Structure 1
């Protein structure tokens, strides 16, 4: 079918929005078959159904490249604790934090996790998201890690959305292996990863490199196993301190390093050399009331692509709106609206290793977000009240 009479944000080129005014997109077999000014539409497409978009703005479907949306329970009580002066690290060290969610997620059935995950996915879809990354990491035992990944694999069977899974067994040592991180990795994390690969449940491997989680050496052991299995890697890096996570991710050729508030100049340079995407997670920065800003100027000067994601999770970023994450990235981190939109389209797709999403180009997935807006900056400007008019997934209108 044809989507015509629209202002298209193509992201053709390395700068600017690549806007095609009064443009048209032809979708065939789930891909973009033709794109350009509607006045130049080839005659061979004249008989296709034509949706007149009446001058609306069309962007690539949004990509949320970092979420923990499969989990049970919530941590509102920890929100209160932080407001009363407790730090995230203090709560975690006292048995709260991730371990609270682990206990609830272990108790939940696969069906219960699926129901709550679909509710979160529906919210993201209502704001134009067509691709979402979903992590494990709230099981920390073999059965629950696999349960989470099986739920993730069911999402795109029930909703018109593309799902990429990340195995995050190296999130933190489980309560059974507290202070025995190496043993946890050998007995739980790595065996769970091997089974997940056999069952085709995992697209990438992630880790958390931080004092409250795993050391660079421990994360390296997980990444080495992942690479032997032919899997790309990602890393929660330098969120609370500079443990060299950005450099570690770059040394392993990671798709992305995420958070990065404390990343060093050396780490940024290493990411630039390896092509690793920097994923900005302003929801966690906001929720934890952090003050150390990611080195945005260094990322720009070294041409490190920056993505933006919700980090949707029950503890440090209970954020269900990628549009609000875009606004936060601009307001808190001083990204431009163009950087923010690239960060939730082409750069987010790059952070997931996707070469056919995040732009409006011939051959790419025909995933579109159609907005009641005149200029793309409006998407980062507003706080609440989505301007989404319609969403197209694989060439089909879904709302």
Structure 2
């Protein structure tokens, strides 16, 4: 007897396939089972078959999906989850035409959040981030990467990583990334080398306390150069961390090429990626993590060339880039719509980007992003009859139920009384 049987599934996206990220044309292929059913035992998928075959099965609990869509839980591969304060006061500056780097030079941007994060207690950071995790869950996310990077000193960076660890009681599985090299704080202005040494000195403690799996850096004009980023990430890799890079967001510095050369698991942003970078991604193991919500929120017209990256044979994933300054949303479904409308990705490519590829981009390719017998039963029952409808109908949540390890961890009420 199974623990749970989900019957009468209209469309079931299992996303099964090769045990690696989907690249190029593969991203246009998905596994769809019509009129399906799914059984769960001890938190794992135990059986997948037809609705007709399900009639002969027995389960402690049966749930009728009412001919709706069922997919793996969404995977969110790039967030700045833990931070203090908010930055709504910067909206007026942006409306006056101040650029991201100009706001940073005025003490705003990241530096504003740094002040608030340093002032916040561990408990305050955990409470604030927990509310955001609840929102992510309501949009169908079951696995999420969370970065530090708003401390820019040893004490606060560790505090952020400890907050992420404290959030492990939340239903969403968290993957932690150390982004101490997010910006140069005021006390190290003119001494970038000294600051990077300060962050590098944290790596052994972070590793020994198991506070992060990945190390990231903001490789950008006015922040950290390609050469500085190479040395820093090479050191992190030597110490056993996976590596990621904020690359080519504003200017084509060559961050993508650096990510590929260092075999980073992902190169993130890539709005200003070079043609050379696009071509090299296709031949690499590095996944392009694209963040259309940031482009949208900053009021820019030029989105990362996801269409070109896929057409050239690269692997793409999508993320909210949730943060207090340039993408203030936990709605990954909205990001799916932006990818459809602004980046010209197909629905099939989008679903691969927010499940399979996103899982591989945070080191969870073996346990998240796919539904197959023996894998964790992380799945979403949608208020939609087919997978195309979710990115098509934008700006709302289509989530009906979210399951993590076979347990229902979110249910949207009808709202009627």
TM-score by length of 2: 0.92
Separation in 1, partners of 2:106, 2:162: 31
| Secondary structure of residue in 2 paired with 1:221 | helix
Structure 2: segments with no counterpart, 5+ residues:
18-25, 411-417
Paired residue for 2:199?
A: 189
Equivalent of residue 338 in structure 1, options 342, 348, 354: 348
Separation in 2, partners of 1:384, 1:222: 39
Counterparts of 1:164-175 in structure 2, within 5 Å, are: 164-175=175-186
| Secondary structure of residue in 2 paired with 1:3 | strand
Aligned pairs, number:
396
- Return the offset for 1:47: 4.2
Paired residue for 2:392?
A: 381
1:117 aligns with 2:129: yes
Separation in 1, partners of 2:65, 2:298: 41
TM-aligned CA distance change 1:54 to 1:292, over 3 Å: closer
Counterparts of 1:42-121 in structure 2, within 5 Å, are: 46-121=58-133
Equivalent of residue 10 in structure 1, options 11, 14, 17: 14
Separation in 2, partners of 1:42, 1:352: 38
Separation in 1, partners of 2:219, 2:290: 16
1:367 aligns with 2:370: no
Paired residue for 2:21?
A: none
Equivalent of residue 395 in structure 1, options 371, 382, 406: 406
Equivalent of residue 291 in structure 1, options 293, 297, 301: 301
Q: Is the 8 A contact 2:334 2:396 kept in 1?
A: no
| Secondary structure of residue in 1 paired with 2:174 | strand
- Return the offset for 1:114: 0.6
- Return the offset for 1:179: 1.7
Separation in 1, partners of 2:99, 2:210: 38
Paired residue for 1:26?
A: 39
Paired residue for 1:247?
A: 257
- Return the offset for 1:258: 0.8
Q: Is the 8 A contact 1:251 1:270 kept in 2?
A: no
Structure 1: segments with no counterpart, 5+ residues:
none
Separation in 1, partners of 2:315, 2:52: 34
TM-score by length of 1: 0.96
Q: Is the 8 A contact 1:261 1:294 kept in 2?
A: yes
| Secondary structure of residue in 1 paired with 2:201 | helix
Separation in 2, partners of 1:31, 1:226: 34
Separation in 1, partners of 2:286, 2:55: 39
Equivalent of residue 350 in structure 1, options 360, 372, 390: 360
Q: Is the 8 A contact 1:130 1:162 kept in 2?
A: yes
